[in-house]
Structure 1
């Protein structure tokens, strides 16, 4: 793979990139900013979210869901940019929430890692919750080893979850009511800590890896197809098609531990050519 190039620098801690409305959207956790960027690197601040962490994913109607992780709330971004309450997640888990992935029916999956990493709590099992379009939330999976990036397959029948502390990608079958069954290992990736993930149109998956400073493309079963090495931790990744060209976007930053997570602007948004475009939205 070619060397990644810097599209944006001066970020604090970029996360949750999503290709949406023909541009890349991502969250700068440390700056509390929701940012969009075009193919030339021109950026705009689309809003501010006073939470750490916070993550995004679009609903089928184009509005963004915003997971305000430290507030244990799911919000919805309206067309005018305002954020309105969508679901209260506090009854399900009183620790910070981490990621959100929407499906094609208006349901959303959100995960809680089960412990407060930033305050130094010891690891505990995490969970995945289902949030239906009326804002009702319920737990649909548990006993996860630091659930991180998530993605729903284009046909809407499978949810993939990166378990950072278990070095694997886990798959669940999605029932018609959104429940999760058929838990299984989609890919064992020994020695890695998969973080944010992105599915491509060939059925492969990219995952970001902070300690190993790379993004890796794997197929089901764990075979490695491509690797992009960087000089700092890779927190998440997303596929996009600026100008019709399949492109991998990577949010990366120096990681010096929880105490220094927002101490310096070492964050970058990187790009690299990708062998396949993003998978269609479910």
Structure 2
């Protein structure tokens, strides 16, 4: 990665490379988990760069999330299914095709094991809530390509990136898991937002694909920090590592997945930030 140092934070360093299209990074139990959407696999990498691979043949995985029992949920984009990996086998736990009009994308899983999953229509996209008992409900409509999602530290708010809308949108999470009180967190972003991560100051680190940057945005839209990645495409980010102050930066060489088939140029870099991660994932 060619990155420009904006503050006194260290310039990002490469952790792992050689993927088709990395997506959905999640820090869990000392490992970074991420999808290779076009490589039909989910990978883990530790901080030394050691990688393991979970093949998911026939699926294009994207969003990831962990239930309280430690099992991994995987959003299979084109099949519009949710998969579950229990440490040994991968099974289909839900088919969301009847509820969604477009491929699945990112997800976030709450403390009750409820998964919020975006369906990425460019207009009138939806968020589906998948409960632990397998019941699926559309809980938000009218989104412009819902993408990265995160839940605040107090578990009261879900924030979603609307890529084609170039905004971050917030919802109040009801005790029943419903999403209410839709409001704008940040609008008029410098590029389409993809994956996001929340920090302890309430800021949202956002991958802005066509802006070739990762930016920290606060409520109201002000940008307080940014990481320029040259000619690469910012895809997604996660906060984890020691004290959750390591920002994982997933990037690729093109914003359009069809142009990345067969390539191995997606990578994950890391840098240390001032404020630790907070909330979910």
Length-normalised TM-score, structure 1: 0.91
**Structure 2 residue 134 is matched with structure 1 residue 135:** yes
Instruction: Identify the residue that residue 178 of structure 1 maps to in structure 2.
Output: 177
What CA distance in whole angstroms lies between the structure 2 residues aligned with 1:256 and 1:61?
A: 35
Change in Cα spacing, 1:37 to 1:164, as seen in structure 2 (3 Å) is: same
2:75 to 67, 86, 93: 67
User: After superposition, where does 1:143-162 map in structure 2 within 5 Å?
Assistant: 143-162=142-161
Contact 1:234 1:250 in 2 (8 A): yes
Deviation of 1:218 after TM superposition, in Å, equals 1.3
SS in 1 for 2:258: helix
Deviation of 1:260 after TM superposition, in Å, equals 0.9
Instruction: List alignment gaps of at least 5 residues for structure 2.
Output: 1-6
Instruction: List alignment gaps of at least 5 residues for structure 1.
Output: 115-122
Deviation of 1:157 after TM superposition, in Å, equals 1.4
Deviation of 1:235 after TM superposition, in Å, equals 0.5
Instruction: Identify the residue that residue 196 of structure 1 maps to in structure 2.
Output: 195
Contact 1:54 1:67 in 2 (8 A): yes
CA RMSD, 1 decimal: 1.6
2:110 to 98, 103, 110: 103
Instruction: Identify the residue that residue 221 of structure 2 maps to in structure 1.
Output: 222
What CA distance in whole angstroms lies between the structure 2 residues aligned with 1:107 and 1:229?
A: 35
Contact 2:248 2:271 in 1 (8 A): yes
Instruction: Identify the residue that residue 24 of structure 2 maps to in structure 1.
Output: 16
Change in Cα spacing, 1:174 to 1:249, as seen in structure 2 (3 Å) is: same
Deviation of 1:261 after TM superposition, in Å, equals 2.3
Query: How many positions carry a matched residue from both structures?
Result: 272
SS in 1 for 2:78: helix
Cα distance per residue 1:27-62 (max 9 Å; x no partner):
111211111111111111134353224221111222
Instruction: Identify the residue that residue 233 of structure 1 maps to in structure 2.
Output: 233
